[in-house]
Amino acid sequence: MSPLEPFGARLRTAMDERGPLCVGIDPHASLLADWGLNDDIAGLERFSRTVVEALADRVAVLKPQSAFFERFGSRGIAVLEKSVEEARAAGALVVMDAKRGDIGSTMAAYAESFLRKDSPLFSDALTVSPYLGYGSLAPAIALARESGAGLFVLALTSNPEGGEVQHAVRADGRNVGATMLAHLAAENAGEEPLGSFGAVVGATLGDLSSYDLAVNGPILAPGIGAQGATPADLPGVFGTVLRNVVPNVSRGVLRHGPDVGALQAASDRFAEEIRVAFATV
């Protein structure tokens, strides 16, 4: 099976054509209830199908949160497989938000689940945790390169607890989050138009000018909407790398369901606010 064009190149094209917005598919129990759906397989399937139907042909990226499907067992995974397949068929890139991280053969198995092209859960990119050491990601990096997929590595996350690890200072004086960014810059060196190995950096973190965010890869920016950040905050957080930022909105869009038109309108509003914010730099 021939590899795809590298994820970074495909993402650059999608962002240029559709704008950079990423919308999460997060079918947690409270959202299902808000939609008038039961917290069961039928509700999960209706929720996921509606989001894909509404948005997969208009946004650059859809990001299903694997945990909300896994909690239903094998039937939930079947819904996730279908959602990934239909979203990609409609032209959206799929970032699987699974935050996998382990070592050796276990990390390789996680990579095969989401990054092997003939896997039922094959996604364009996968979120991963490097906190068993960046080198533990080697099996995922190798398979992503082979298949034309990408990774988003947790670097400076939007949750307040993240600083406990990510701001810890190493013996060389650089903190852990900055170290992850440096690894990604090396991974993406020389790639054009954009490397395939991105960072997760929270949009809620304020001025990050003390960090070198120029990793030559995409930056997935959660925290917009329910967590308090707005599209207008993005230039101040990301500065000169703004063009490579993929702003992520979940509840801010999803709460407008189950009406397809309302979901599309909410997505379009965020997309326009992002376009205006990016135009200021």
Sequence-distant (6+) residues with CB within 8 A of 240 are 214, 281
Give the span between the Cα atoms of 214 and 199, in whole angstroms. 10
What pLDDT digit, counting tens, does each position of 128-137 carry?
Answer: 999 999 999 9
Does 58 fall in a domain?
Answer: yes
Does 150 fall in a domain?
Answer: yes
Q: With CA atoms as reference, report the closest residue to 40 among 73, 62, 68, 72.
A: 72
Give the span between the Cα atoms of 240 and 73, in whole angstroms. 43
Give the span between the Cα atoms of 203 and 213, in whole angstroms. 13
Does 2 fall in a domain?
Answer: no
Helix or strand holding residue 45 (H, E): helix 41-55
Give the span between the Cα atoms of 137 and 130, in whole angstroms. 7
Give pLDDT, residue 2: 58
Q: What is the CA radius of gyration of the chain?
A: 18
Q: Return the residue matching tokens 């364009």.
A: 124
Give pLDDT, residue 239: 96
Half-sphere exposure in the Cβ direction for 114 (13 Å, CA):
31
Does 100 fall in a domain?
Answer: yes
Does 34 fall in a domain?
Answer: yes
pLDDT at 1 over 70: no
Does 99 fall in a domain?
Answer: yes
User: Which residues belong to the active site?
Assistant: 99
Overall number of domains in the chain: 1
CATH number at residue 204: 3.20.20.70
Pairing of strands 125-128, 93-100: parallel
% residues pLDDT > 70 (the chain): 99
User: Residues 61, 22: contact at Cβ < 8 Å?
Assistant: yes
Give the span between the Cα atoms of 227 and 204, in whole angstroms. 7
Give mean pLDDT, residues 70-78: 98
**Amino acid, res. 272:** E
Mean pLDDT, the chain, rounded, equals: 96
Give the span between the Cα atoms of 197 and 214, in whole angstroms. 12
What pLDDT digit, counting tens, does each position of 106-118 carry?
Answer: 999 999 999 999 9
What pLDDT digit, counting tens, does each position of 217-275 carry?
Answer: 999 999 998 788 999 999 999 999 999 999 999 999 999 999 999 999 999 999 999 99
Half-sphere exposure in the Cβ direction for 221 (13 Å, CA):
31
Does 202 fall in a domain?
Answer: yes
Q: Domain range for residue 208?
A: 7-279
